[in-house]
């Protein structure tokens, strides 16, 4: 992997070490300020709503200010907002800082993901994004343990430590990343007229297919983050033990990385790999519906985390591959809105399902969505992305191993 990929991976691990506070935002609102579960869900949804313009701004600021400046701005803003939440003395103050956090929360993602996409060959993108996922998981192993410890003492300290890691990450990247320079707008030559035109992600049907499926996946994923502490409480367990479960998930993601090099997995088409991942996710969530002890929750967490291993790297690689040269920022920013939508919806859907239908219904319903995603990926999304020239990867016969996620493009003039 190029040096810039390792820089982003290392910084992401540092940042992830403290990124354990958000799943406990609803718990903080409920316990420290006596708010109802519904109120806590609404305020968390307000945070999620603010992340939507944040993601779009991240793509545009990367083009105007530069990728490094945008990354540093986003991380510094997150730190200040987190400290505001930790110091807030009223529910109104928490709400204000939660919204401010949402407005800067996603600035980091489009420029950092686009840097990775531009730094490696298309055939190596799944490996690169999977490496980023490993960094998140590695930081998450420590994050979960810190959350389990600090959460028993004072939930506010979770936000303080999160802020400190954001500042450390911002400083490291400000020093290490190459200086910014302006990029010309991405153009698809020969495809939209003689002189081409600026790439517009929302006119790409393949991106719409990935965006729709990605939104449903993000909703399920965010429901896990938001509802797991509340689920543990309803099952008579300690909510802070969600930190242990997040650690188990991170360990599983790290341990499962060598499996991505297996020929049978690496040579799967993008849609087949994604459908398999959604199915594993569904199996794990069915386990949550039936679990009543911490060991049972740990086992089912490991199962759905295996699905996570297959999904995240592939999804980002597909989206980056759909973008024209230099257009990865805008494509990844557009795709990332799915997470903002999910962050808005998940606190409301999760808390309402828990309150009116119960734990089993919440997780069984989430599992059903995952199975529907697997079917839709194969029947609906696959024809769209196949039409853009993405095919199943070919085995690397020189090394004896499969080359993960190699991709071909039917428009060679569009690739550098």
Q: Where are the domains of the chain?
A: 3-179+202-400
Start-to-end C-alpha separation, the chain: 18
Q: Is 295 exposed, middle or buried, given 0-12, 13-18 or 19+ CB atoms closer than 10 A?
A: exposed
Q: For the residues 327-348, what does the mean pLDDT come to?
A: 80
Question: Tens of pLDDT along 223-243?
Answer: 888 788 888 888 888 887 787
Q: Residue 289's closest CA among 201, 240, 353?
A: 353
Written as one string, the DSSP assignment of 94-143 is HHHHHHHHHHHHTSSHHHHHHHHHHHS-GGGHHHHHHHHHHHHHHHHHHH
Q: Residue 363's closest CA among 234, 241, 277?
A: 234
Model pTM score:
0.69
Question: Tens of pLDDT along 10-65?
Answer: 777 776 665 566 667 777 777 777 777 777 777 777 887 888 888 888 878 887 88
**Cβ distance 198 to 325 under 8 Å?**
no
More confident residue, 393 or 389: 389
Question: Tens of pLDDT along 268-325?
Answer: 788 898 999 999 999 999 999 888 888 999 999 999 998 888 888 888 888 888 877 7
Length of the chain: 416
More confident residue, 195 or 128: 128
Dihedral over alpha carbons 389, 395, 396, 401 (to 10 degrees): 140
Q: Band the pLDDT of 186: cuts 50, 70, 90.
A: very low
Strongest mean pLDDT among 267-276, 297-306, 342-351, 382-391: 297-306
Q: Residue 275's closest CA among 300, 307, 301?
A: 307
Q: Residue 103's closest CA among 58, 133, 137?
A: 58
CA dist., res. 370 & res. 292, Å (int): 22
Q: Which CATH number fits domain 3-179+202-400: 1.10.1510.10, 1.10.260.40, 1.20.1250.20, 3.40.50.300?
A: 1.20.1250.20
| The pair of three-digit structure tokens given for residue 280, joined into one six-digit string | 């594993």
Q: For the residues 384-412, what does the mean pLDDT come to?
A: 45
Question: Tens of pLDDT along 98-156?
Answer: 889 888 888 888 888 888 888 888 777 877 887 777 777 777 666 666 666 666 667 77
- Percentage, residues of the chain above pLDDT 70: 82
| The pair of three-digit structure tokens given for residue 108, joined into one six-digit string | 């980091």
Written as one string, the DSSP assignment of 214-271 is HHHHHHHHHHHHHHHHHHHHHTTS-GGGHHHHHHHHHHHHHHTGGGGGSHHHHTS-HH
């Amino acid at each position: 992997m190029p040096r810039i990929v390792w820089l982003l991976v290392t910084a992401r691990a540092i940042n992830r070490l403290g990124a354990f506070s958000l799943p406990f935002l609803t718990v903080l609102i409920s316990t420290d300020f006596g708010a109802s579960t519904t109120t806590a869900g609404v305020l968390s949804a307000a945070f999620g709503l603010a992340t939507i313009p944040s993601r779009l701004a991240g793509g545009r600021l990367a083009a105007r200010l530069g990728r490094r400046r945008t990354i540093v701005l986003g991380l510094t803003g997150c730190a200040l907002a987190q400290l505001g939440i930790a110091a807030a003395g009223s529910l109104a103050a928490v709400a204000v800082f939660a919204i401010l956090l949402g407005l800067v929360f996603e600035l980091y993602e489009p420029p950092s993901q686009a840097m990775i996409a531009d730094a490696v060959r298309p055939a190596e993108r799944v490996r690169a994004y999977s490496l980023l996922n490993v960094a998140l998981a590695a930081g998450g192993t420590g994050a979960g343990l810190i959350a389990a410890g600090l959460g028993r003492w004072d939930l506010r300290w979770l936000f303080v430590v999160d802020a400190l890691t954001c500042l450390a990450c911002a400083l490291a990247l400000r020093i290490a990343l190459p200086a910014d320079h302006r990029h010309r707008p991405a153009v698809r030559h020969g495809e939209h007229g003689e002189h081409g035109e600026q790439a517009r992600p929302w006119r790409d049907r393949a991106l719409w297919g990935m965006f729709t499926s990605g939104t449903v996946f993000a909703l399920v994923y965010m429901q896990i983050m938001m509802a797991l502490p509340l689920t543990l409480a309803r099952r008579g367990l300690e909510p802070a033990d969600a930190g242990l479960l997040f650690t188990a998930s991170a360990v599983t993601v790290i341990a499962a990385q060598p499996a991505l090099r297996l020929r049978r997995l690496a040579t799967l088409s993008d849609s087949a790999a994604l459908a398999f991942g959604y199915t594993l996710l569904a199996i794990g969530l069915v386990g949550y519906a039936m679990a009543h002890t911490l060991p049972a929750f740990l086992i089912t967490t490991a199962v759905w985390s295996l699905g996570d291993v297959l999904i995240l790297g592939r999804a980002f690689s597909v989206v980056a591959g759909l973008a024209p040269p230099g257009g990865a920022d805008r494509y990844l920013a557009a795709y990332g809105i799915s997470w903002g939508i999910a962050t808005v919806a998940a606190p409301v859907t999760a808390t309402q399902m828990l309150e009116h239908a119960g734990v089993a219904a919440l997780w069984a319903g989430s599992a059903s969505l995952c199975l529907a995603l697997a079917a839709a990926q194969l029947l609906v999304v696959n024809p769209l992305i196949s039409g853009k020239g993405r095919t199943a990867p070919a085995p690397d016969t020189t090394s004896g191993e499969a080359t993960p996620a190699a991709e071909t493009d039917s428009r060679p003039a569009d690739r550098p």
